[in-house]
Structure 1
Amino acid sequence: MKIKQLIGDRFKERPADCVIDSHVLMLRGGYMKYVASGIYSQYPPLRRITRKIEQIIREEMDALDGQEVQFPVALPAALWQESGRYDTIGSELLRFSDRNGAPLVLGMTHEEAAVQLVREYGQSYAKYPFFLYQIQEKFRDEARPRGGLIRVREFSMKDAYSFHTSQEDLEAFYQRCLQAYERIFARAGIPEVISVASDSGMMGGSLSHEFMLLTPVGEDSIALCGECGYRANLEAAECIVENRRDEQSQPLTLTGTPGAHTIEEVCQLLHLPREKACKAVAYEKETDGGLVLLFLRGDLEVNETKVTNFLGCGIRPASLTEESGLHPGFLGPCGLPDGLTLLFDRSLENANNLCCGANREGFHYTGLDLRRELGELRYEDFAKLQDEGICPRCGRRSISISRGIEVGNIFQLGAKYTEAMGMRYLDREGNFHFPLMGCYGIGIGRLAASVCEARHDEFGPVWPLSIAPWQAHLCAVRAENPDVKEAADRLYGELQAAGVETLYDDRPVSAGVQFSDADLLGVPFRVVVSPRNLREGYCEIAARDHSFTQKVPLAGAAVHLLGLI
């Protein structure tokens, strides 16, 4: 293709409000165009990249005996009501009605559609196991789209669903799919992606993994152990604490703390370390608005995913009014009104001599001993694992927290959806069972953006050959020179005949403009024909990653480049 015919412009200026490099470069390079918040159109270079990613995925899914299907984008709400997710998922799920008033949703994931597709097919054990996948547009009404294609509302995704008659079969296939994902990311050019244990979230199920590209611009936090190799999303990582109980408990004493609302202010006023504070965090249940008070040690932070999973419903920060009888900044576990849900983090188990709110404006208690004041309590893990914290696997204080972009995920769903939607099969003895499911997702656009994030320099993307929009970028420098134009045209024809995907720049512009555009388009091999090298009968072939530059005779340049590819 000739670059002068390529739809989309390239420019030098950094777009406003763009902080992530991949977002900047993909706008500057003419890969995509903003349409609305979290919604983009793709120009030809990006579409060529995503098609190659899709092909890699198809090859790996087909190698697992996957069968490609396609589900609708718009789905009847009744399917989601069958599974129970219509009411449990919040505003991320876009709900609407057709002209007849029938309620519909825009698919953000397709577990329900997968079960509906094979509910009748899978009525006999003899049909199992089977595995189907699709590459489909989806819509998720994200509250805060960011980073270009890193977090969007409309996106293309490969989602796959496996069906099994035993947990052992599901686990074996799950491992095969995990390895296929590792191959997909390696083939796409980011073999450094790691798999981490994760929270199943709205998908449900017993076990899940996310595939993370570690990068400072990632929005997920990953706990990594440098000693034993443990790795998990911070949402799912267990927080191990060391509780040290003082030999003697002090009496519970009411102490004036006017103007001290935060843990830092209170501990400074009382001359206590934060480890000796009992912190309170107030939430409301999204289901009924009920108040939840969570207590944990003052040096720790709440992991809201753990709280949500424990309660079985969404939560939001509580707005405490005078009518509630609670005093923000002075909340504590003693003397609370009835009707509250009280949660205690295990960092408080067996603790004593703590300070806490006295549930009176301007006052705190010191000498709190939860076991003495409140008796036996249920303690759960509600805290975030911290940097330099204790590893849940090896017990060493060796945890480091890194940032990452989630480029894929896999889940063992069990019978969550098949049971809810009445999908059953008969076994050999004529007994009914609910099949077990796994699901496996990869965001196509996010993967492309993640590769760009990992593979770029100050001038533009450095696309891996496997997914690059073209394999060669031919520049005819001084194309108004008849000899240059003739030689470059001839080489372009030879490259096309040899099957090399070539982008040809024969515009009458300066070499600087040509090379700047070539950097932004990130094609792996740049071929330059110019008056200077033409006089010596060669062209110049350079790698976009700057690993080499070669002078190659024009007569054999196409064959040589094909060999490099």
Structure 2
Amino acid sequence: MRWSQTHIPTLRENPAEADAPSHQLLLRAGFIRQLMAGHYSLLPLAVRVRSKIVTIIREEMTAIGAQEFSLPAMHPAQVWRRSGRWDAMGEEMFRLKDRKGAELTLGMTHEEIFTSLATELKSYRELPQTWYQFQTKFRDEPRAKGGLLRTREFTMKDSYSFDLTQEGLDRSFDLHREAYLRIFARLGIPAIPVEASSGSMGGATSTEFMCPAEAGEDFVVHCPSCGYAANSERATSRLTAIADGPGLPAPEPFDTPGVRTIDDLAARFDASAERQVKTLVYVLDGQLSIVLLRGDHALVEQKLADAGGVGTVRPARPEEIREALGALPGSLGAVGVASVTILADEALRGRRDMFTGANEDGVHLRGVDLERDIAVSRWTDLREVASGEPCVRCERPLQVQKTIEVGHIFKLGYKYSEAFGLTVLDADGSPRKVIMGCYGIGIERSMAAAVECHHDDKGIVWPMAVAPFEAVVVVAQPDDEATDAAGEQVYRQLLASGVDTIIDDRSERVGVKFRDAELVGIPLRVTVGKRGLADGVVELTERASAETRRIPLEEIAVEVRRTVDSALRTRDRRQRTAPRP
């Protein structure tokens, strides 16, 4: 490839709309351009990186026996209704009608479609099966941001396993987990496998692969001592027990004019936040529910959805709250409430002598005993874990990190098999339900995550395995016949040795070429100039270390090939020996 003939529209300044480092650099280095919010065109350099990511994933999927498919991106509504997810997916699903009025959707994921295909399996002898694809997905993301990190149209590698037994599913899940660790190591992404919520996908067990990055929007709770790691939607901790006083024989009301918040009550009435019951009102699948937490704790809505086994969760509106409880937020409580489902966080179990609202504006209660005075429907973990709390396993302090989710694997169980009647005949000729798993990796998000992990003040520093080119030959004086001929010679020698190379043959100052090569992030730069050629050498510069070596012209192809191979071997070695969190 020749730089002069390749579309690489680099920019000198960060675009005003770009926030995350990967967003800024992928725009500046000429990899992507935005069409509209959440929709990006991949330019030639990005297509090359994307192709290398896909190749690595495909190799690892083949290694575990997966077979590649290509399924439609547009689906009929009836298959999503059959699984129950047509309504559960809510506003994130793109819906449309064709000219005949048939309801359709742009696929967010493909569980329903793969399961429909799997109904052609007839015998246990055909299992296990693992099927996968690379396909465009569509989600009407309400907060598209961060460039490729949160988009409305993206490519996903999604795979699906079909097994006869739980033990078979466990094996398929473990095969994918190990394959994902290899994939992310090869991509240069330090992904941490963590416990996670299955959300709308269903199933009991799931693991996310999270890349630590300040641009991330997910939080991972991690214990450096024992290795415990979980998404904040799943994480828990071991709280220090609180000794309560004897309390009162019954809750006692007292006036609290103007009190609207936890902090107001704490400051004005000597009621510390840990002694307050925070009362929230939510609507779970259309059903009004009360949610109780300790005053100093925050709710994790996904935990609430998981606890209630529901697909849609939203805060109740003021008029709904007033109608159900007779007061507005600020004076709400659950004492004496019998007509509404009440979910209480485990941190409140056994607590007494507590403060809460009295469901009368400007009035609160003191001396509340949770188990005596409130008819809790279900005790469950609902709170957000904070940094420094004791680990649930080893009781050492936990850390909370911002991360990017780059992969997610699920044990789906029988949810889709039951919905689609997916069975096979076992050895006795009896029908057996097939148990399923699903496994996803975001392709463009992985590209962005790699940039988040590998950049400096000059631009991107691509890992060798996914760089758009492994080497760039910079002709320092393209108007000089001897230099131009030597640059062309080096370029062809590198191509002949199997090095993925581009030659910068533009009529630009050498400083401009260096800056562009650094911005684009090509791992190796070979500079061919008059001064070096006079000594029979060229310069080899490594992007990551900025180290420059003078190499004899006749040895440059061998040295670049050796350097590329060494970088790839080092990555593979780290992948094989990396400790498992």
TM-score category of the 2 structures, normalised to the smaller one? over 0.9
Equivalent in the alignment of 1:284: 283
Deviation at 1:550, TM superposition (A): 0.9
Equivalent in the alignment of 1:68: 68
Match of 1:208 among 206, 209, 213: 206
Compared with structure 1, are the counterparts of its residues 264 and 66 closer, same or farther at alpha carbon in structure 2 (3 Å cutoff)? same
Equivalent in the alignment of 2:54: 54
Q: Which moved more, 1:438-447 or 1:365-374?
A: 365-374
Deviation at 1:109, TM superposition (A): 0.7
Give the aligned residue type for 1:213.
C
Equivalent in the alignment of 2:345: 345
Give the aligned residue type for 2:34.
Y
Alignment deviations for residues 15-47 of structure 1 (CA, whole Å, 9 cap, x no partner): 113221011000000001101111101011110
Deviation at 1:547, TM superposition (A): 5.3
Equivalent in the alignment of 1:529: 528
SS at match of 1:328: coil
Alignment deviations for residues 345-402 of structure 1 (CA, whole Å, 9 cap, x no partner): 22221111111111111121122122332367642211112211232223x1421111
Identity of aligned residues (%): 40
Question: Is residue 2:20 matched to residue 1:23?
Answer: no
Equivalent in the alignment of 2:429: 430
SS at match of 2:526: strand
Deviation at 1:482, TM superposition (A): 2.0
Q: Which runs of structure 1 show a deviation greater than 6 angstroms over 4 or more consecutive aligned residues? A: none
Give the aligned residue type for 1:79.
V
Deviation at 1:118, TM superposition (A): 2.0
Unaligned residue ranges in structure 2 (runs of 5+): 565-581
Equivalent in the alignment of 1:327: 328
Question: Is residue 2:238 matched to residue 1:237?
Answer: no
CA distance in 2, matches of 1:281, 1:33: 43
CA distance in 2, matches of 1:377, 1:436: 32
Give the aligned residue type for 1:365.
L
Q: Which moved more, 1:104-113 or 1:480-489?
A: 480-489
Alignment deviations for residues 326-361 of structure 1 (CA, whole Å, 9 cap, x no partner): 22111011244x643322222221111111111111
Equivalent in the alignment of 2:197: 199
CA distance in 2, matches of 1:560, 1:240: 55
CA distance in 1, matches of 2:377, 2:27: 55
Give the aligned residue type for 1:156.
T
Compared with structure 1, are the counterparts of its residues 466 and 377 closer, same or farther at alpha carbon in structure 2 (3 Å cutoff)? closer
Question: Is residue 2:440 matched to residue 1:441?
Answer: yes
Alignment deviations for residues 416-461 of structure 1 (CA, whole Å, 9 cap, x no partner): 1011111111111111111011111111111111011101111111
Checking the alignment, whether the CA contact within 8 Å between 1:267 and 1:273 is kept in structure 2 is: yes
Alignment deviations for residues 45-97 of structure 1 (CA, whole Å, 9 cap, x no partner): 11001101101111110011111111100111111111111121111111111
Give the aligned residue type for 2:263.
E
CA distance in 1, matches of 2:413, 2:546: 48
Equivalent in the alignment of 2:388: 388
Deviation at 1:152, TM superposition (A): 0.8
Equivalent in the alignment of 1:361: 361
Alignment deviations for residues 236-275 of structure 1 (CA, whole Å, 9 cap, x no partner): 1135434434242135322222112110111111112211
SS at match of 1:358: strand
Equivalent in the alignment of 2:542: 543
Checking the alignment, whether the CA contact within 8 Å between 2:414 and 2:434 is kept in structure 1 is: yes
Deviation at 1:563, TM superposition (A): 2.2
Checking the alignment, whether the CA contact within 8 Å between 2:212 and 2:404 is kept in structure 1 is: yes
SS at match of 1:71: coil
**Aligned residues between the structures:** 559
Equivalent positions of 1:57-206 (< 5 A) are 57-120=57-120, 122-190=121-189, 192-206=190-204
Checking the alignment, whether the CA contact within 8 Å between 1:530 and 1:539 is kept in structure 2 is: yes
Question: Is residue 2:527 matched to residue 1:507?
Answer: no
Checking the alignment, whether the CA contact within 8 Å between 1:239 and 1:384 is kept in structure 2 is: no
SS at match of 2:162: strand
Equivalent in the alignment of 1:493: 492
CA distance in 2, matches of 1:8, 1:422: 51
CA distance in 1, matches of 2:373, 2:227: 41
Deviation at 1:226, TM superposition (A): 2.3
Equivalent positions of 1:219-298 (< 5 A) are 219-250=217-248, 252-285=251-284, 287-288=285-286, 290-298=287-295
What TM-score do you get using the length of structure 2 for normalisation? 0.93
Equivalent in the alignment of 2:573: none
Checking the alignment, whether the CA contact within 8 Å between 1:473 and 1:518 is kept in structure 2 is: yes
Equivalent positions of 1:451-490 (< 5 A) are 451-490=450-489
CA distance in 1, matches of 2:543, 2:329: 58
Checking the alignment, whether the CA contact within 8 Å between 2:254 and 2:364 is kept in structure 1 is: yes
Alignment deviations for residues 504-562 of structure 1 (CA, whole Å, 9 cap, x no partner): 11212112211111011111100101122122221100001025311011122222212
CA distance in 1, matches of 2:553, 2:71: 51
Q: Which moved more, 1:320-329 or 1:110-119?
A: 320-329
CA distance in 2, matches of 1:354, 1:270: 12
CA distance in 2, matches of 1:376, 1:74: 44
SS at match of 2:91: coil
Q: Which moved more, 1:238-247 or 1:349-358?
A: 238-247
Give the aligned residue type for 2:487.
A
SS at match of 2:359: coil
Checking the alignment, whether the CA contact within 8 Å between 1:242 and 1:347 is kept in structure 2 is: no
Checking the alignment, whether the CA contact within 8 Å between 2:417 and 2:433 is kept in structure 1 is: yes
CA distance in 1, matches of 2:359, 2:188: 56
Checking the alignment, whether the CA contact within 8 Å between 2:195 and 2:206 is kept in structure 1 is: yes
CA distance in 1, matches of 2:163, 2:347: 40
CA distance in 2, matches of 1:563, 1:385: 48
CA distance in 2, matches of 1:378, 1:12: 57
Deviation at 1:499, TM superposition (A): 2.5
CA distance in 2, matches of 1:374, 1:469: 62
Compared with structure 1, are the counterparts of its residues 86 and 376 closer, same or farther at alpha carbon in structure 2 (3 Å cutoff)? closer
Match of 1:307 among 304, 307, 318: 304
SS at match of 1:364: strand
Compared with structure 1, are the counterparts of its residues 465 and 168 closer, same or farther at alpha carbon in structure 2 (3 Å cutoff)? same
Checking the alignment, whether the CA contact within 8 Å between 1:243 and 1:348 is kept in structure 2 is: no
Equivalent positions of 1:392-407 (< 5 A) are 392-394=392-394, 396-407=395-406
